[in-house]
Amino acid sequence: MADPAFAVVGIGASAGGVEALTALFRRMPPEPHAAFIVVTHLAPDRDSLMPEIIGRVTTMPTVTARDGECIQPGHVYLNSPVSVLTVVDGRLVLKPRHNERNPVDILLASLAREFGERAIAVILSGTGSDGALGLKAVREAGGVTFAQGRGGDGPSYPGMPQAAIGTGYVDRVVSIEELADGFAGFIGHMGLSSRHDIAEQRAVVEDAKTAIYAALQQRTGHDFSRYKDKTFLRRVERRMKVHQVTDLPGYVQLIRTDENEALALFRDLLIGVTGFFRDGEAFGRLAELVIPKILEGKGSTDAVRVWVSGCATGEEVYSLAILLREMAGNSMSAPRLQIFATDIDEEALTIARLGRYPANLLTSVSPERLARFFVRDGESYTVTPEIRECCLFSPQNILRDPPFSQIDLVSCRNLLIYFNAELQSQVIPVFHYALRRGGYLFLGNAENLTQHGSLFAPLDKKFRIYQRKDSPSRLPAMALASTPGSPRPSRPPVPARASKGDDVVRQLERRVLERYAPAHILVNRDGEVIHYSARTGKYLEAPAGAPTRNLLAMARGGLNLPLRSALREVQESGRPARRDAVAVQIDGDIQTVDIAVEPLPEIDGQPFWLIIFTDIGSARSSEEIAKAELARAADRDGALLHLEQDLNQTRERLQTTVEEYETATEELKSSNEELLSLNEELQSSNEELESSKEELQSINEEMSTVNAELASKVDELDRASADLRNLLDITRIATIFLDGDLVIRNFTPAMNAIYKLISTDRGRSLADIVSHIDYDGLVEDVHKVLGTSEPLERRVVRRDGSAHYLMRIVPYETMYDKVNGAIITFLNVSDMVKAEERQRLLVAELNHRVKNILSVVASMAAQMARRSTSVAEFAEGFVGRIHGLAKTHDILSAKEWSDVDLAELLQAELDAFILDAARASLNGPKVELRPQVATTLGIVIHELATNAVKYGAFANRIGRLRVEWAFDTGKNGRDLVLTWTESGGPPVEPPERTGLGSELIRRSLDFELGGRAAIDYRPEGVVVTLVIPATAEIIQHTEGVSP
């Protein structure tokens, strides 16, 4: 670790920095008790000559920084073109440069963290705003800050110094001469703390504290007597070092005589660690008490409006934006965020708009927020576009410029402490006016609203969170120029009554004014219109809201800024002012107007101004004006080019004259030395210019490459999007994509069978849309899948029962395996369900039929057992009947147990008994028999055929069989009558007793079919008549005649 007694000075510079650095080190004492670390903007592909240039003007060792080198007092360290320079544990640390645009911020932030009160930040000439944030960090750590001012050798490029000054954290703005001449004495005070002396002189300390408390109370109105002693004395010591005061009595004398010093100490005492989520407990209470209320009930068509007044470099703005985005979510139904951030310092606003901060300034941001809302770029972090796009930064003077309106939350932290009671009384009503009903105000810990209890009610006194009361609100008058202490205008003067002799003249003048004079108005100091002439409606229109006479509030588009600046110029100078060729938007066209503002004599001490509007030509469209502007721009460019050429020639002649004068008046040796020094400086300047040019060229090339890559990625994304869209359009599987909040991202056309979705339903919550499926647990199932990341399947049915679906829910995973929603598919399985149902019915039918067949078999067996005289007789008859039943079963199997044609059944049974088909004839209409009927009738036909073979027509070779069937309608309904007629067989004799076959036929017809059978034993042959009821359960239909 380096010697802790010496100071470490961080110096940042850019364009014009070579001159400033050589001037500074040329005047620097030879052995200062400090180390100097210089960071400039260098091109990464060129060796820098800065060590040689600075080494020629100082005796201190001047080297390019090396990684791991210990910092030593009396040394000058310069950054390398290819590295980013920081400090860790008293040693220099070089990190690879990755297009870093703020190396000065990075160095100064590391000095603040490493050295604290021994750190000194110096910002010299340069463009841009690099160094402002780092200087701010040094000041907050207790270090001292300087910026190069315009006096003496002022900065050639004031961008960097002005940006640093704009933060409000610069202790002293000095010229190079003042900085160099005072450095020796100032550095002598760094590290030589007077705290030991203070501890030994308690009485002196107490007296000094009392005097300083009194001065602060008198100058600022704040009592610091209860402030922590150590912190108070540390801030006092810092101010003593800034002014190089050696003892407390000397500082007491300074604060009593210098009014600005009391304010400077007051600011030092209030400085905390400015950064993201400063005072985390206050932001926690804000998230708990306020943000849920302002988000409540707001959807995607609504906006949350926040105003951050005095936003400085934007840390608090982005903190609020992050907090709001976290609590509002990223779903399509989240409200829009609009954060208006204002400040009077445009340099600070430039830093805020960039949203780029060194890593050392983001220590209070959690890793989760850092990963989600920031993008790392080398040693810096940039706020993501998601957050930056909802923040609008604009310059505004809260004491003069109109406020915003309909605001949900106003944040104004540590700004009111700089205002006296009178200004606070002017600003607080502005916040009340800007807030919508029930809006909230967020102040700093050192601020309160005790004098404005009628406007705001405290929600949390500790963290200064207030809510707007619904008391009448009126916007305070906004002055056109900063005129503190000026009296408010009285009522406009009433003109004296004119004599009767002047009436005609006055009427004449009024008529001329009304018809021929240009439009004009009369305003007072507060910008309120006292009188309108005719035809002013072309330039003024009443704004929305409460009625107002404020001129700037009524001015049409394009008139506000010219009127404001002209009125301010007239008020400050007392002379007329003009604004020519002002473009005014009127009903979509643009009218060019000349504006003249003239002061009028004061009446009762109150000033008034006359404003005259004169049209230039007629109103023109935007296209016509654009063409005219291009023509004028070409003329102006030519004139400017001519002026620049003249100026360059004049400069060249002046330079020549100066050089000739120096050559004529100085000795040759001095002249040569001066010329040599001048050449070296010019060489350094040329090097810097070339480096800048090359850096810009390199950036342009990188941007071109990035743009080409981006265009390629966009094309790929377009193709992938088109492929996905076509895939979704042609697929027949109903699919819907949801985010983590069940908001619809996309869906396929087949989803219309489940939900009646249209294209505008994207962005809506699925829970808000009624489905056609008879299932209410979809939302719970999706949440379960999102929580467990496990797929889920369910069978669902349409409410009308017309379709069955297999619903499958799977998690939607990003390319980083992060679950970011769910995908739901509905596969139509209606055909499968029908097939399963049919299969169940077939199985049930088969079971029923098998049971019936077994019953028939059991019945036949029982009857044959009773009638048979031997086992052989039983076996012969039983087997034959089983074969007949099997034939019927074969037919039913071939028909898949559907209806069977009667003729087909007869033919199948007879084919087993006769070889000559001509011996049997079949005649009758086409009849379809139910499977159960076919089984029973098949057994009956088998019995008849068996008897015919044994005893009847088929017992010889000449017998014939004729089977006829027809429908007959009797008193009992319609019957199917089948006649079995045998002939040509052996003579027939009636049996002595009823045989088993006859009994089986009658029982089958009677019990199974509800019919009857009649057997006539004629000598020429048996005639059997079967009568079967022609019901739907027995016969399917009849059609035509069977062959």
pLDDT band at 629 (very low <50, low <70, confident <90, very high): low
Report the alpha-carbon angle 590-595-601, nearest 5: 155
The answer to whether residue 476 sits within a structural domain is no
Tokens of 426: 């002017």
901 neighbors 1042 (Cβ within 8 angstroms): yes
Q: Find the range with the poorest average confidence among 906-915, 959-968, 979-988.
A: 906-915
Which long-range contacts does 743-748 make (Cβ < 8 Å, 24+ apart)? 743/331, 743/332, 743/333, 745/821
519 neighbors 611 (Cβ within 8 angstroms): no
Residue with tokens 């200004």: 423
CATH number at residue 536: 3.30.450.20
The yes-or-no verdict on residue 698 having pLDDT over 60 is no
The yes-or-no verdict on residue 476 having pLDDT over 90 is no
Cβ neighbour number for residue 343 with a 10 Å cutoff = 26
Say yes or no: 856 and 743 in one domain. no
The answer to whether residue 79 sits within a structural domain is yes
The yes-or-no verdict on residue 57 having pLDDT over 90 is no
The yes-or-no verdict on residue 48 having pLDDT over 50 is yes
The yes-or-no verdict on residue 191 having pLDDT over 70 is no
The yes-or-no verdict on residue 979 having pLDDT over 90 is yes
432 neighbors 476 (Cβ within 8 angstroms): no
Strands 920-929 and 960-970: parallel
| pLDDT at residue 570, as a whole number | 86
23 neighbors 153 (Cβ within 8 angstroms): yes
The yes-or-no verdict on residue 643 having pLDDT over 70 is yes
CB-based burial label for 874 (10 Å; 0-12, 13-18, 19+): middle
Nearest Cα to Cα of residue 933 among 905, 961, 894 = 905
Which long-range contacts does 190-195 make (Cβ < 8 Å, 24+ apart)? 190/6, 190/7, 190/33, 190/34, 190/117, 190/118, 190/120, 190/144, 190/241, 191/4, 191/5, 191/6, 191/7, 191/33, 191/118, 192/5, 193/237, 194/237, 194/240, 194/246, 194/247, 194/248, 195/233, 195/237
The answer to whether residue 608 sits within a structural domain is yes
| pLDDT at residue 893, as a whole number | 61
Say yes or no: 390 and 323 in one domain. yes
Looking at 594, 620, 646, the residue that finishes a domain is: 620
Q: How far apart are CA 845 and CA 471, in angstroms?
A: 84
Say yes or no: 1003 and 872 in one domain. yes
DSSP state of 200: H
CATH number at residue 463: 3.40.50.150
Q: How far apart are CA 313 and CA 644, in angstroms?
A: 37
DSSP state of 871: H
| pLDDT at residue 509, as a whole number | 65
Q: How large is the average pLDDT for residues 864-883?
A: 63
Q: Is 983 a catalytic residue?
A: no
| pLDDT at residue 153, as a whole number | 61
H or E segment to which residue 1006 belongs: none
* DSSP-assigned beta bridge partners for residue 83: 96
- String of DSSP letters for 392-419: EEEE--TTTS----SEEEEEE-SSGGGS
| pLDDT at residue 108, as a whole number | 92
Q: Which of 41, 452, 804, 942 is catalytic?
A: 41
Tokens of 689: 């210019």
Q: How far apart are CA 965 and CA 793, in angstroms?
A: 58
Q: Give the chain's length.
A: 1043
Nearest Cα to Cα of residue 1029 among 927, 908, 907 = 927
DSSP state of 748: -
The answer to whether residue 737 sits within a structural domain is yes
Q: How far apart are CA 617 and CA 78, in angstroms?
A: 62
The answer to whether residue 841 sits within a structural domain is no
Tokens of 684: 């350094």
Print burial letters for 471-486: b (CB count within 10 Å at least 16), e (below 16): eebebbebbbeeeeee
Q: Kindly report the backbone phi and psi dihedral angles of residue 837, in degrees, each rounded to the nearest multiple of 5, phi listed first.
A: -65, -40
Say yes or no: 684 and 806 in one domain. no
Q: How far apart are CA 185 and CA 948, in angstroms?
A: 145
3-state SS assignment for residue 389: coil
Q: How far apart are CA 629 and CA 476, in angstroms?
A: 40
The answer to whether residue 110 sits within a structural domain is yes
Nearest Cα to Cα of residue 531 among 540, 521, 539, 541 = 521
Nearest Cα to Cα of residue 360 among 112, 574, 191, 601 = 112
Q: How far apart are CA 541 and CA 553, in angstroms?
A: 9
CB-based burial label for 6 (10 Å; 0-12, 13-18, 19+): buried
Q: Which of 130, 268, 408, 739 is catalytic?
A: 130
The answer to whether residue 645 sits within a structural domain is yes
pTM of the model: 0.42
Cβ neighbour number for residue 709 with a 10 Å cutoff = 10
| pLDDT at residue 12, as a whole number | 92
Nearest Cα to Cα of residue 739 among 663, 820, 809, 793 = 820
The yes-or-no verdict on residue 822 having pLDDT over 80 is yes
590 neighbors 620 (Cβ within 8 angstroms): yes
Say yes or no: 711 and 751 in one domain. no
pLDDT band at 867 (very low <50, low <70, confident <90, very high): low
Amino acid at the residue 924: G
495 neighbors 533 (Cβ within 8 angstroms): no
Say yes or no: 882 and 965 in one domain. yes
Q: What is the pLDDT of residues 29-43, one digit of tens each?
A: 777 888 999 998 877
Say yes or no: 616 and 633 in one domain. no
Q: How large is the average pLDDT for residues 666-675?
A: 55
First-to-last CA distance in the chain?
119
The answer to whether residue 121 sits within a structural domain is yes
Q: What is the 3-state secondary structure (H, E, C) of 294-354?
A: HHCCCCCCCEEEEEEECCCCCHHHHHHHHHHHHHHCCCCCCCEEEEEEEECCHHHHHHHHH
Q: Which of 14, 319, 380, 1042 is catalytic?
A: 14
Tokens of 970: 């009797």
The yes-or-no verdict on residue 498 having pLDDT over 80 is no
830 neighbors 800 (Cβ within 8 angstroms): no
CATH number at residue 188: 3.40.50.180
Say yes or no: 768 and 814 in one domain. yes
Q: Find the range with the poorest average confidence among 27-41, 185-199, 807-821.
A: 185-199
Looking at 657, 688, 716, the residue that finishes a domain is: 716
Say yes or no: 600 and 636 in one domain. no
Tokens of 429: 């009503």
The yes-or-no verdict on residue 483 having pLDDT over 50 is no
CB-based burial label for 605 (10 Å; 0-12, 13-18, 19+): exposed
892 CB-near residues (< 8 Å, 6+ apart): 849, 900, 931, 934, 935
Range among 396-400, 861-865, 1013-1017 rated most confident = 1013-1017
Residue with the bigger pLDDT between 654 and 302: it is 302
Q: How far apart are CA 186 and CA 29, in angstroms?
A: 12
Say yes or no: 678 and 817 in one domain. no
Q: With the CA atoms of 1021, 1027, 1033 and 1035 taken in that order, what torsion angle do they form, in degrees rounded to the nearest 10?
A: 60
- Per the prediction, the chain carries an average pLDDT of 78
Q: Kindly report the backbone phi and psi dihedral angles of residue 1019, in degrees, each rounded to the nearest multiple of 5, phi listed first.
A: -60, -40
744 neighbors 756 (Cβ within 8 angstroms): no
Strands 920-929 and 1035-1042: antiparallel
Q: How large is the average pLDDT for residues 563-588?
A: 84
DSSP state of 478: P
Q: For the chain, how many structural domains are there in total? A: 6
Q: How far apart are CA 45 and CA 81, in angstroms?
A: 7
DSSP state of 495: P
191 neighbors 6 (Cβ within 8 angstroms): yes
Q: What is the pLDDT of residues 140-163, one digit of tens each?
A: 888 888 998 865 567 888 888 888
Looking at 468, 497, 523, the residue that finishes a domain is: 468
* DSSP-assigned beta bridge partners for residue 9: 36, 120
Q: Is 14 a catalytic residue?
A: yes
Q: Which domain holds residue 1020?
A: 850-1042
Say yes or no: 701 and 750 in one domain. no
Q: Is 130 a catalytic residue?
A: yes
Q: How far apart are CA 819 and CA 788, in angstroms?
A: 10
Tokens of 491: 């009522």
Nearest Cα to Cα of residue 75 among 104, 118, 33, 19 = 33
735 neighbors 747 (Cβ within 8 angstroms): yes
Residue with tokens 């906006």: 303
DSSP state of 1010: S
Say yes or no: 921 and 878 in one domain. yes
Tokens of 1017: 């034993």
Count of alpha carbons within 13 angstroms of residue 387, beta-carbon side: 27
